[in-house]
Amino acid sequence: MELKKYFTRRLFQSKSAGFIQNRARESIEAEEIFLDAEAVRSLEDKGKLEQPIKRRNFFLFYALIIVCLLVLLLRAGYLEIAKGDYYYNLAQGNCLRIYSLPAPRGIIYDYLGRPLVYNAPSFDLTVNLNDFLASSIENQEEIFKKISVILSSAERDKESGNELLKSFTDLQDGSNVQDDMAESIQKDLRKKIEEAAGQISHLVAAKNIDRSAALVLENLIGDWPGWRLEKNPQRQYIKSSYFAHLLGYTGQLSPADLEKHPDYSRNEQIGKVGLELKYESVLRGQPGQEQVEVDSLGKSQNLLATKPAQPGQGLVLFVNQELQEKLYQTLEKTLKQLTFSGKAAALAIDPRNGGILALVSLPSFDNNLFAQGISRESLAALENDPAEPFLNRVLAGQYPSGSTVKPLIAAAALEEEIIKPSRQIDCQGGISVFHKYNPEIVYHYPDWKVHGLTDIIKAIAQSCNVYFYTIGGGYGQIEGLGVDRIKEYLQYFGLGQAAQIDLIGEKEGLVPDPSWKKEKKPNEEWYLGDTYHLAIGQGDILVTPLQMTVALASIANGGVLYQPQIVDKIVDLGGKIIEDIPTKIIRQGFIQEKNIEIVQEGMRQAVLTGSARSLIDLPVEVAGKTGTAQFGSAGQTHAWFIGYAPYENPEIILTILIEGGGEGSQIALPIAKEVLEWYFNQ
């Protein structure tokens, strides 16, 4: 009642005031009424403990709940559908480990199927760094200690295993058996893990563990978080130094290897040099996998699944194992007798197809050291050896050819009709040439002796320099080939370019010409004397023993220049032929058969009447050519011999080079004789 009176009085007062003060206002605004009503209501509610909740607040509250539920549902759906696989794999990864199983590399055989390398069983100690480093420091130190004791004991007593057994017993009893060697191993192990932490997750902590040590570790390793003993076949090379430059070796992947082969695992072995490198894609197998269940500490529990590794394919070579060994032994024996040279190269090729029968470079090295993991000290000693044992002198050694190039010059002169086979040149021990601008200056080009009247066969047989000066650079009434045609034909025979053997690291050699000299010696022109020197294999010409052997093999076989080839076939694990690698012909028909026959006769006469007469009593007819190549400023010479047999149907061409060895007929020839005599008496 009080409220009604107040409202009536207020309304009356408002009307009266509006009528008196402003007659323009006819009525009261609606907003004023509602505002007054609100004010009255607020006064009316004053003093009440409970007030009614507005409907608008209810609406906002329910809307907020619905939005929250929708967000939760959407998030749950996203995690289940879009990220389900991710979290499943994450969960699985916490209890599963997948390990790579290395594949055995393919075996390499000689031409009779005799293995030259095999895969020996070996063990590597590996660690999952994430699991191991998650364990306590005390646990880590205890594991370091046990590993170092086991490995040091195995190193000290590889024969009987008594030391290792004692160490194992002490470890079981908790005794402290640390010594200097163990502490050194522990220090190295800790350093290796510290350096790898954060970089990689899987580390090979120790390689090629002794079998007895592996047995002890096998009993302990199950309690070590992240640790694992892995079988990793290790390359074992038979007669390692004999075949080192042929087979090469394998080693751990370098950062460059990993970049080139991203599909390789870090603990795989890869070919580094030789056939191991050249045929990496063939010899490498396909790694397998093991899926292992681990507990929350990273300890292995169960083997869940295995995908076996697939072995690599094998190689069958043209190489004759016994010939390789005989050539190596004979060459090494001769070098030991020489006080002035310890470097040599030797090569035997089948001239019928270009197959490499033997390849030796001295000094050599033990390629098993690399398969086992060579020490830094041993590697540095090999790398710093002035005799360069890593240099494959057969395909990367570059030398003046000496007189071994003369049969090629003779073939070119006959082909270009520079001289007829019957034409004789009078050799009186040298020729003299006047300076073209000053006749008072005379250049003398000597021969090693007076030969008298000499035709092309005698010139090859007796290595007459005057004859080759004349047909090479020209003299008197004979024009000569000239430098351009000499270079053209030497390139036909494969000089000055890679022979494309199936090994990496071959050098191209050098056939010099005026443009080369202008670039290298800008203050000198090309002289006639340069052409004379080129025609007898002296001066700036450089060849590899491989190039010269391939070139003269084309004389031996009647004019076919074959690409040299070491690998004959690719086979599977059971010996079944997968690929029979075809013979490759580089060039043929560039020298007529009649001209080749004349050159062949000259090389045969070198054995019958010339500098290679010591071969005349061999059980087969031999043709060949000796060479003495000058180098340096002190008058030193390399000793060459290249010969093939049997003369009528040759099946082998043999090259011997002794660096700084002196006369070819005195040093290189006896080696060839011993090897050829052995070969044809087998």
Q: Out of 34, 68, 93, pick the residue that ends a domain.
A: 93
Query: Domain check: are 347 and 305 in the same one?
Result: no
Residue 308: which domain range? 98-316
Specify if 634 maps to a domain: yes
Q: 238 near 107, Cβ under 8 Å?
A: no
DSSP 108-162: EE-TTS-EEEEEE--EEEEEEHHHHHTS-HHHHHHHHHHHHHHHHHHHH-TTT-H
Q: Would you give the DSSP letter of residue 49?
A: S
Specify if 50 maps to a domain: no
Rg of the chain's alpha carbons, rounded to an integer? Answer: 44
Query: Domain check: are 352 and 456 in the same one?
Result: yes
Per-residue pLDDT at 192: 87
Query: Domain check: are 518 and 658 in the same one?
Result: yes
Query: How far apart are the C-alpha atoms of 281 and 682, rounded to whole Å?
Result: 36
| 379: Cβ contacts below 8 Å, ≥ 6 apart | none
CB atoms within 10 A of CB 220: 17
Per-residue pLDDT at 301: 74
Per-residue pLDDT at 4: 46
Specify if 510 maps to a domain: yes
Query: Domain check: are 344 and 293 in the same one?
Result: no
Per-residue pLDDT at 167: 55
Q: What would the mean pLDDT of 83-88 be, rounded to a whole number? A: 52
Query: How far apart are the C-alpha atoms of 604 and 624, rounded to whole Å?
Result: 6
Tokens of 153: 């004991």
Per-residue pLDDT at 116: 98
CB atoms within 10 A of CB 33: 13
pLDDT of 1 > 60? The answer is no
Specify if 524 maps to a domain: yes
Query: Domain check: are 81 and 41 in the same one?
Result: no
Query: How far apart are the C-alpha atoms of 167 and 154, rounded to whole Å?
Result: 9
Query: Domain check: are 303 and 329 in the same one?
Result: no
Query: How far apart are the C-alpha atoms of 126 and 636, rounded to whole Å?
Result: 54
| Helix, coil or strand: residue 597 | helix
Q: 166 near 95, Cβ under 8 Å?
A: no
Q: Residue 304's domain is classified under what CATH number?
A: 3.90.1310.10
Tokens of 409: 């010059």
Specify if 598 maps to a domain: yes
List, for residues 120-167, the tens digit of each pLDDT value: 988 889 888 888 888 888 888 999 899 988 888 877 765 444 555 555
Most confident of 10-19, 116-125, 289-298, 399-408: 399-408
Query: Domain check: are 274 and 333 in the same one?
Result: no
Specify if 428 maps to a domain: yes
Tokens of 392: 């494959």
Give the H or E element holding residue 234: strand 234-237
CB atoms within 10 A of CB 285: 18
Q: How many domains does the chain have?
A: 4
List, for residues 195-235, the tens digit of each pLDDT value: 888 788 888 888 888 888 888 898 898 889 888 888 888 99
Query: Domain check: are 438 and 418 in the same one?
Result: yes
Question: Which residue in 566, 383, 541 sits closest to 472, CA to CA?
Answer: 541
List, for residues 606-618, the tens digit of each pLDDT value: 999 999 999 999 9
Look at 559 and 192; give whichever has higher pLDDT.
559
Query: Domain check: are 656 and 677 in the same one?
Result: yes
pLDDT of 364 > 90? The answer is yes
Q: What would the mean pLDDT of 258-268 be, rounded to a whole number? A: 87
Whole-number average pLDDT of the chain: 87
- Rounded to two decimals, the pTM is 0.82
Specify if 478 maps to a domain: yes
The pLDDT confidence band at residue 109, using thresholds 50, 70 and 90, is: very high
Q: What would the mean pLDDT of 671-682 be, rounded to a whole number? A: 96
Q: Out of 275, 295, 316, pick the residue that ends a domain.
A: 316
Query: Domain check: are 37 and 11 in the same one?
Result: yes
Give the H or E element holding residue 247: helix 240-247
CA dihedral 612, 615, 621, 627 (to 10 degrees): -30
List, for residues 427-469, the tens digit of each pLDDT value: 999 999 998 788 889 999 999 999 999 999 999 999 999 999 9
Query: How far apart are the C-alpha atoms of 182 and 597, rounded to whole Å?
Result: 71
Query: How far apart are the C-alpha atoms of 466 and 298, rounded to whole Å?
Result: 83
Query: How far apart are the C-alpha atoms of 258 and 252, rounded to whole Å?
Result: 10
For 390-402, b/e burial (b = at least 16 CB within 10 A) is bbbbbbbbbbbbb
Query: Domain check: are 237 and 379 in the same one?
Result: no
Q: What would the mean pLDDT of 513-537 be, rounded to a whole number? A: 96
Q: Out of 316, 337, 353, pick the residue that ends a domain.
A: 316
pLDDT of 24 > 80? The answer is no
Query: How far apart are the C-alpha atoms of 221 and 228, rounded to whole Å?
Result: 7
Query: Domain check: are 76 and 127 in the same one?
Result: no
Tokens of 365: 């090295």
Specify if 572 maps to a domain: yes
Q: 145 near 186, Cβ under 8 Å?
A: yes
